[in-house]
Every structure is written in structure tokens, then in C-alpha cells.
Amino acid sequence: MSASASPAIRVDRVSKRYVIDHEKRPDTLRDALTGGARALFSRLRAQRTEEEEFWALRDVSFEVQPGEVVGIIGRNGAGKSTLLKILSRITEPTQGRIALHGRVASLLEVGTGFHPELSGRENIFLNGAILGMRREEIRRKFDEIVAFAEVERFLDTPVKRYSSGMYVRLAFAVAAHLEPEILIVDEVLAVGDVQFQQKCLGKMREVSRNQGRTVLFVSHQMGAVRELCSRAILLKQGSVSRTGPVADVVAEYLGLAGAEGHGFSQARRLEGTGEARICDAALLVHENATSELLSRDPLIVCLKAEVQRETRVAAECLLRGPDGLPLALHAGGLVEGRDHRLTPGKYEFRFELQLPQLAAGRYTMDLMLADSGVRFHDYLEHALRFEITAGQNEHAGWQFQQQAGQGSFLLRAHHQEPRRLS
């Protein structure tokens, strides 16, 4: 592709505003009753409604060249999903303009573009028609799509009966194989299993490198962004904070994720059962909370949690390196059987980690409450931030096969019994 070729995507000073209504309800039952007829109440409602403007995007501009794979990253609420909806023509910008050269296939939410009453087979043809493809073109790709999605047995089943994983497999297979010039993929791939996620990353790499197609990829998994993308765009509070080589932008994002400083953060919580919830946490060295560790320090994780209903609970953690990639996992419930049946109340969990050898640098730790390692009650990403300032820790980890992005080491720990606080 020559340098003079037109960009596949051009975003020029795009902004998106939403208006939020804050309705003031009648103060008392008497106020509501004396409103009288519907028309009178409607006028009262109109008079007592306040509007607030919310700008999801502010003056966003960038270009993506044909064949580029560009990651869009940022914290929750940064405007990533809004931007993708504008690029997918789902919503219009309030200001600015976009120019797209070629057919666009988007995978933004589970089931987007599928008709729930139609079978998988029918939805493949429907999606192809939406992309402007002829029936013969779709037929030519049909077997590849079905094989990639691994849904042969359910092809003639209405997709409303599919699991979320089956939905995603078929939706991605359709989007990637029906030859769009631009492929837009949101975090929805996280619904799929690990093997399928790797399969999708490989397919996106193939359509970019071998077929010259453009890919926009949104993810919170920095390892996947670094592996797939050559360039990244960092959004912060609806504006472009930085764009450039993926390594530089990811490094800035990880610094942004820790901008609150060291210590405990609940900023990035993943959905769990909610039966138990992490309230506070700290790293302790000789019973003192710290965020700066020296070599040979015994590292104790102290975690406070509130249990909402009687259930089994295990405290676990995932250690991440300076680049945000997973290094080591402590699966106290699944591997070591350190789960406990707890009744509702507040509890303190403590466990002393035996860390692998770590170079000096900045690290983060995800914290989890799990049910025997089978399901998560709560999951906080980058919940604890700390520095290894000198030397190496003397405790080594135990090597195990890397799976699910969980790192190269399995961490062992000495656990105390959970202590009931209230």
C-alpha cells in the first residue's frame, strides 16, 4: 500500500453529547394526588425536570491506514464503546465527521446483528447480506465460517438458544470471513474460552497481514493488544490522550491505571456472583502496610471482605509485571483447597506469599474471591500496586503450563483462618 493511499478510517474532531434527565418526583403522596389530571401532571413533570449534558467524546481525531491493526485502550468510561458505535454507524456524532473507506464489520456486543428467531445458518446469510455480499460469495465462505465457529451441530437451531460463547464464536466467524475491509472488535471476545480467543487473535492477524484489511481492537487485556497491534490510541475522559507505537501507549496506560498512587484501588472491578465482595486490602511487611518492598521481605496480603450470603470463599491473587502482563497466580481455592464456608458478615483474610524471583520495578496485583476456584464472587484488577526496590526475592515459584493468561508460575502461600470482623 503506497504512502499516498487514502486512510481506511479518518476521524475528524468528533464529539458526542448525551443529555441526562434528572426528574424531581413529587415530595409527598398529597403532592402526587393533587396533581390531578394527566395533562396537569405532565406540565408539572416538565417544569420539574433538570437536564445535564454529558460529553462521552470530545474533539477526537485520528487516522488509520489500510492494513493497520490499531488498539484502542482506556479505562472504563473513557469513551471507547461510544467511539466504536459511531464508527459502526450505530449512533451519529454530535460534532465532527468520520470517513470510512470500505465495508465495515463490527463485533461490539454479544448477538449484535443477529436475529434471535433465525437459525445460525440463516443468520450467516443475513449478516452477509447486511455487508452487501452476494449469496454466492456467502456460500463460498460458508464452510469456513462454520468450521471456525465450531457450531456445526447447532446450525439449524435458533440463535436465541445459543450460549453467549456460541454467539460470540459465530458472530466473530461471520465478521472475519465475509471479507470486510474494516473489522471492528470490542472486548466481547472475553466471553469466549481461552483457545477461541487465541484463534480470534490469529485470524485478525491473518486478515491484516495477508489480506491487507484494517482492524480496530478494543481490549483491557494489554498482552493481547501488544501481541496484535502495531499502534495504539489511548482515550482518557473522552479525549485522545496519546497515540503512537503500541509499547509506548500501553506503558502510559499502565501508568494511568496506577495514577491514584500505590496501595489499594477498586477502580477496575469485573463482574462476579456478588455473594462476597472485597472491601479493602493491603500488603504487610512485619505487620506494617507498605507499597515498597525490599529483598527477602516476607510479603503478606491482608484482604477484608463482606460476605452477603452463606457460600464457600477462597482468597486468591494474580501478580502482574511492570508491563501489565500476568506473571504468577495464587489459586488458593482451586489448587490448594483453601476455601471456607462462611456465613454473612465481614471477614479478614491473610496469606503469606512465596514469590518467584523478581527484578526491581513496579508491580500490580489482582485480587479475587472465588468459590473453590470454580467461579468468582469478586475480581479487582490492579487492586494493589507496589515497588520491588532492590535485590531479588529468595523464594522461587513453581513452573506450570501457561493457561488463560494467568502467568508462568503458580504461587504458593501460607494461609491463616479467616477472622470474622462483624
pTM: 0.61
pLDDT of residue 198: 78
Per-domain residue ranges of the chain: 13-55, 56-257, 263-420
The answer to which of 263-277, 325-339, 374-388 has the lowest mean pLDDT is: 325-339
In DSSP notation, 145-178 reads HHHHHT-GGGTTSBGGGS-HHHHHHHHHHHHHHS
Tell me which of 46 and 301 has the higher pLDDT.
Answer: 301
Domains 56-257 and 263-420 share a fold: no
Query: Is 78:175 a contact under the CB 8 Å cutoff?
Result: no
Choose between 274 and 46: higher pLDDT.
Answer: 274
What local confidence, expressed as pLDDT, does residue 397 receive?
A: 33
The lowest-confidence range among 69-78, 218-227, 257-266, 346-355 is 257-266
DSSP symbols for 54-93: EEEEEEEEEEE-TT-EEEEE--TTSSHHHHHHHHTTSS--
What architecture does CATH give domain 263-420?
Distorted Sandwich (2.70)
**Model pLDDT, residue 178:** 77
- Per DSSP, which regions of 246-359 are E strands? 263-264, 268-270, 276-285, 288-290, 292-293, 299-307, 311-320, 326-330, 340-342, 345-354
| H runs (alpha helix) in 150-265 | 164-177, 194-209, 222-228, 246-257
Under the banding of pLDDT at 50, 70 and 90, the label for residue 394 is very low
Poorest-confidence range of 61-65, 252-256, 259-263, 394-398? 394-398
pLDDT band with cut points at 50, 70 and 90 for residue 374: low
* Range in 46-50, 64-68, 93-97, 173-177 the model is least confident about: 46-50
Which of 322, 298, 325 is closest to 393 using CA atoms? Answer: 298
pLDDT > 90: percent of the chain: 27
Q: Estimate to the nearest angstrom the gap between the alpha carbon of 195 and the chain centroid.
A: 17
Report whether pLDDT(14) > 90.
yes
**269-275 average pLDDT score:** 85
Model confidence at 266: pLDDT above 50: yes
pLDDT of res. 373 = 57
The tens digit of pLDDT for each residue in 66-121 reads: 999 999 998 878 899 899 999 988 889 999 999 999 888 887 766 666 888 999 99
Q: Which position has the higher pLDDT, 188 or 290?
A: 290
- Residue 318 CB coordination number (10 Å): 23
- The confidence score (pLDDT) of residue 87 equals 92
User: Are 95 and 256 within 8 A, CB to CB?
Assistant: no
| 79 φ/ψ angles, rounded to the nearest 5 degrees | 110, 10
Domain 56-257: give its CATH code.
Answer: 3.40.50.300
Q: What pLDDT does residue 294 have?
A: 64
Instruction: Please give the pLDDT value at position 406.
Output: 44
Helix-then-strand count for the chain, H and E: 9, 25
The rounded distance, in Å, linking the Cα atoms of 88 and 11 is 12
313's grid cell: 470463599
What is the reported pLDDT for 347?
Answer: 94
Distances (CA, A) of 179 to 41, 66, 172, 176: 54, 14, 12, 6
- How far, in Å, CA of 138 to CA of 105, rounded? 14
